[in-house]
């Protein structure tokens, strides 16, 4: 398995040629994406070629409408890792440039899929669009595939609770702090990635030292206190994470801080991954520091009951 970056005009790596291909942003790698990947792998095995997932970085919105861009669910590296987890042989990350975004649908098909990847099969979902302004329709993709003798397979939506699973739906659930629903849509816990920085050290004075994620790489869940599993250097710890302000002490800035159970060490300047397992409660102000400490004890006990083996 390998991840390659590709700039328009360069040669596509030979390892990615002659197989089955799925193209998309794949942000979140949710259950709908996973169905697409599974079919891509199945067809690649039948063809005797590689299964290739093609994604883009940066997200096109960052170039086309930067004022509307919001943090993504997954970083490019984490997304590639997830794509390979679901069986693809290689991930090809297209460098999103102005030239790439100006390709018309037919040009994108011919340059990237037909000539570059030499695809023998293309597998896409119900809402796929390609080329400039996403002008390429599924009907056009099928016609271009027929002309080029490339098999095109279109998969229906994967539905949960009667609605299609989509990246926007996952985003909405993350922002609402509905991490149980997020797990349904993703098939796994939502992962937040960031770098630990300096904080107020108030948690330590209360007996519950915290690691503060001052640099966060992806979309932060809605405010609340969560049971999380924290990963660092191949090890995992259960944790109680607070997302939001600290109204008890009059702090209104939104923060992400986590108390790791049974951890002894210094995480300053280290990168940390937090998997959000369950929401314990909403953020609220307490009458005193003592009341807050009592509640934190309850939060820690809740985490231990939810993650007894972490």
> What digits encode the pLDDT tens for the residues 191-233?
999 999 986 666 565 678 999 999 999 999 999 999 999 999 9
What local confidence, expressed as pLDDT, does residue 286 receive? 87
Reported as a pLDDT band with limits 50, 70 and 90, residue 245 is confident
Helix (H, G, I), strand (E, B) or coil at 117: coil
**DSSP string of 187-237?**
SS-EEEEEEEE----HHHHTT---EEEEEE-SPPPPSEEEEEEEEETTEEE
pLDDT > 70? residue 288: yes
What local confidence, expressed as pLDDT, does residue 121 receive? 98
Reported as a pLDDT band with limits 50, 70 and 90, residue 91 is very high
- 194 phi/psi in degrees, rounded to 5: -170, 180
Cβ proximity of 231 and 267 under 8 Å: no
Reported as a pLDDT band with limits 50, 70 and 90, residue 253 is confident
Reported as a pLDDT band with limits 50, 70 and 90, residue 1 is confident
Q: Is the dihedral of CA 216, 221, 223, 224 positive or negative?
A: negative
What local confidence, expressed as pLDDT, does residue 308 receive? 85
User: Residue 98: which residues within 8 A CB-CB, separation 6 or more?
Assistant: 63
- 285 phi/psi in degrees, rounded to 5: -85, 145
User: What is the pTM for the complete model shown?
Assistant: 0.94
What local confidence, expressed as pLDDT, does residue 178 receive? 98
Structure tokens at 287: 């009458």
pLDDT > 70? residue 250: no
H or E stretch at 308? none
Taking only the tens place, the pLDDT of each residue in 123-145 is: 999 999 999 999 999 999 999 99
Structure tokens at 263: 């951890």
- Distance between CA atoms of 307 and 18, rounded to whole angstroms? 45
User: Residue 185: which residues within 8 A CB-CB, separation 6 or more?
Assistant: 28, 30, 31, 160, 165, 169, 170, 173
Cβ proximity of 131 and 104 under 8 Å: yes
Portion of the chain with pLDDT greater than 70, in percent: 96
The 3-class secondary structure across 4-47, one letter per residue, is EEECCCCCCCHHHCCCEEEECCCCCCCHHHHHHHHHHHHHHHHH
Q: Tell me the mean pLDDT in the region 43-57.
A: 98
The β-bridge relationship of strands 159-160 and 235-246 is unpaired
Q: Tell me the mean pLDDT in the region 160-179.
A: 98
Taking only the tens place, the pLDDT of each residue in 255-272 is: 999 999 999 888 999 999
What local confidence, expressed as pLDDT, does residue 203 receive? 55
Cβ proximity of 212 and 243 under 8 Å: no
pLDDT > 70? residue 242: yes
Domains contained in the chain, CATH given: 2-160 (3.40.50.620), 189-306 (2.40.30.30)
Structure tokens at 100: 């790439």
């Amino acid at each position: 398995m390998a991840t390659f970056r590709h700039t328009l005009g360069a040669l596509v790596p030979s390892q990615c040629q002659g197989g089955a291909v799925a193209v998309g942003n794949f942000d979140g790698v949710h259950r709908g994406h996973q169905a697409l990947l599974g079919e891509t792998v199945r067809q690649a095995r039948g063809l005797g070629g590689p299964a290739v997932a093609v994604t883009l970085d940066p997200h096109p919105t960052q170039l086309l409408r930067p004022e509307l861009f919001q943090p993504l669910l997954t970083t490019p590296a984490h997304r590639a890792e997830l794509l390979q987890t679901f069986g693809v042989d290689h991930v090809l990350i297209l460098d999103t440039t102005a030239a790439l975004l100006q390709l018309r649908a037919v040009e994108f098909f011919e340059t990237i899929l037909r000539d570059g990847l030499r695809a023998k099969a293309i597998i896409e979902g119900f809402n796929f669009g390609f080329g400039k302004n996403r002008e390429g329709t599924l009907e056009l993709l099928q016609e271009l595939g027929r002309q080029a003798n490339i098999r095109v397979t279109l998969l229906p939506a994967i539905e949960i609770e009667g609605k299609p699973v989509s990246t926007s739906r996952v985003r909405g659930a993350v922002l609402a702090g509905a991490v149980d629903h997020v797990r349904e849509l993703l098939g796994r816990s939502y992962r937040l990635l960031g770098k630990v920085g300096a904080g107020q050290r108030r948690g330590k004075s209360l007996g519950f030292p915290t690691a503060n994620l001052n640099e966060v790489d992806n979309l932060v869940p809605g405010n609340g206190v969560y049971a999380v599993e924290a990963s660092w250097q191949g090890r995992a710890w259960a944790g109680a994470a607070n997302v939001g302000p600290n109204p008890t002490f009059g702090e209104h800035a939104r923060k992400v801080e986590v108390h790791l159970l049974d951890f002894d060490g210094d995480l300053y300047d280290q990168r940390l991954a937090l998997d959000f397992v369950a929401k314990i409660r909403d953020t609220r102000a307490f009458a005193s520091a003592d009341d807050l400490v009592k509640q934190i004890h309850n939060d820690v006990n809740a985490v231990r009951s939810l993650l007894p083996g972490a």
